[in-house]
Amino acid sequence: MINADGYRFDPGFLVDHLGELGGGLVRTVEISAIGMAGALVVGALLGAVSAFRVPVARQLVRVYVEVFRNTPLLVQIFFLYFALPEVGLRLDAFTVGWLSLLLWGGAYNVENFRAGFEAVEAGYVEACRALGFSRLAAFGQVGFPLGWRIALPSVTNTQISVFKNSSFMIAISYPELTETAVNIVAVSFRVFEMFLAIGVIYLGLVWLMSIGTRAVERRFAIPGGH
Amino acid sequence: MPVWVGPVASYLATGLRTTALLALTSVLASIAVGVVLGTLLTLPSRLVRAVIRAYVEIWRGLPIIIILFFIFFVLPVVGLTVDTFTAAAIGLSLWGSANMAEVVRGAVQSVPRGQAEAGAALGFPWPSRMRYVILPQATRRALPPLVGLVVNLTQQTSLAAVIGLLDILEASQRSIERLTLTGGDTHAVPILGAVLVVFFVICLPLTMLSRWLERRLR
């Protein structure tokens, strides 16, 4: 590729910077992995609280979910990074990175899991109760195993979004993949090489994740169901 | 009220106007392009579908921030000078239209097959079948995810701050910097808190509308 100013695509440049990009990729995977795992746990726990209609706790979960779903993740990141120090809580970019992803993805997963738990046929749970199971046991034995499977497709969508949104950490200069690439562009102007590289990396990883999640969805599909 | 509040508030209001304009532009462009692409995705032609599918997968699969940076850095290299607003609007519309295409495709395909077959049996060609039978029904089904996409795009406009657009978020950041330089106090909690509140007040009613539409469809 060449333009009027003599810009020429230089694969060698790309090869020279693969190490740097690899470092960025590792940091992207780190914060995404912690954020995704946290979002899963938070989502399942609070989703159960929501579906169970636990008094008070349920209203608090509602507030958490609405606040985090109706404000931009980037503003949440800025708030954690720039505003919290004012009230004496100073977090480094790494902590803000995984924490913001966890809180944001968690809010979406609460809704995903709640919807999944609530979609479990009421008759199954009633049958359990008739057999003398406590409410908690009925949930543990039937509600949860069925509900999380129903929630799975929407949960995996959220998880993939969490991974992609790790790129937002460029705004607080955390050296993940995007920040690394943009920094290289800023000093070298090798725009096509860098964006081709990270574009391929992100698309490839998202593609792998969706193949993986589809396999998981098939593996745990409810026979005959939903 | 402290003296800094007035100027900061009016500065944020200017930024909010830019945010609103960007959201409106990208929502309209996304809907226009997305409806066309989504409808074409339901065509029988394999080639057409493959081309559009590639468009949809690329812009949906990439993080939006990468798309914005890509547009912002690449257009000047190929000789197109664009301001940050145009770059942000193009980037958000690429992402939005790809998502909108999926919304439209999903809605069209959720209309029972028998409807299209009945139309075909009555001698309607594909365009009339779409126009008179499928799209009127699909529109109802597309509404809840469409409103969800509007909420999403509105929130994603904040990313334009990263490429330097003076939207409400960038205005808040510059206010915080200015206050820090002049008085030493950042006032970041009330300023960023206000930005959160503004987005919340815009997005919550839309989210509730989307949920209400979804319930009504059942």
pLDDT digits (tens, 9 = 90+) for B54-78: 999 999 999 999 999 999 988 888 8
For the segment A43-61, the average pLDDT, to the nearest whole number, is 94
Q: CA-to-CA distance for B8 and B179, rounded, in angstroms?
A: 9
Between A and B, how many CB-CB pairs are < 8 A? Answer: 115
What's the predicted TM-score (pTM) here? 0.92
Say if CB A193 and CB A10 are below 8 A apart: yes
Chain A residues in contact with B169 (beta carbon < 8 A):
72, 74-75, 78
ipTM comes to 0.92
Torsion angle defined by CA atoms of residues A168, A169, A172 and A175, in that order, rounded to the nearest 10 degrees:
-140
* List of residues 6+ apart from B111 with CB closer than 8 A: B134, B137, B138, B141
pLDDT above 60 for A4 = no
Say if CB A97 and CB A143 are below 8 A apart: no
Helices (H), chain A: 11-16, 18-52, 57-69, 73-78, 93-118, 122-130, 135-138, 144-165, 177-188, 191-219
Q: CA-to-CA distance for A199 and A193, rounded, in angstroms?
A: 10
CA distance B70 to chain A (A): 6
Identify which of A165, A166, A54 has the alpha carbon closest to the alpha carbon of residue A110.
A54
At residue A11 the predicted structure's pLDDT band, cuts being 50, 70 and 90, is confident
Q: CA-to-CA distance for B45 and A28, rounded, in angstroms?
A: 39
Concatenated DSSP letters of B11-35:
HHHHHHHHHHHHHHHHHHHHHHHHH
For the segment A127-155, the average pLDDT, to the nearest whole number, is 91
Q: CA-to-CA distance for B186 and B183, rounded, in angstroms?
A: 8
Q: CA-to-CA distance for A213 and B10, rounded, in angstroms?
A: 47
pLDDT for position B42: 86
Question: CA of B160: which chain A residue's CA is closest?
Answer: A74
CA distance A165 to chain B (A): 6
Chain B residues in contact with A76 (beta carbon < 8 A):
196
At residue B204, the 3 state secondary structure works out as helix
pLDDT for position A12: 85
For the segment B129-145, the average pLDDT, to the nearest whole number, is 91
In chain A, the percentage of residues whose pLDDT exceeds 90 is: 73
A207/B207 touch (CB, cutoff 8 Å), yes or no: no
Instruction: Using the structure block, give the residue that is written with the tokens 């989504």.
Output: B38
Q: Which of B200, B202, B207 has the most A C-beta neighbours within 10 Å, making it the best mutation to test the interface with A?
A: B200
Chain A residues in contact with B74 (beta carbon < 8 A):
191-192, 195
A46-65 in b/e burial notation, b at 16+ Cβ within 10 A? bbbbbbbeeeeeeeebeebb
Q: CA-to-CA distance for A104 and B109, rounded, in angstroms?
A: 31
At residue B157 the predicted structure's pLDDT band, cuts being 50, 70 and 90, is very high
Q: CA-to-CA distance for A206 and B56, rounded, in angstroms?
A: 14
What letter represents residue B31's amino acid? I
Both tokens assigned to B46:
């394999």
Beta bridge partners of A2: A8
B70/A199 touch (CB, cutoff 8 Å), yes or no: yes
Of B66, B200, B204, nearest to A202 by CB-CB distance is B66
Of B69, B158, B204, nearest to A66 by CB-CB distance is B204
Both tokens assigned to B34:
């997305």
Both tokens assigned to A129:
């109760």
Question: A44 at the B interface (CB within 8 A)?
Answer: no
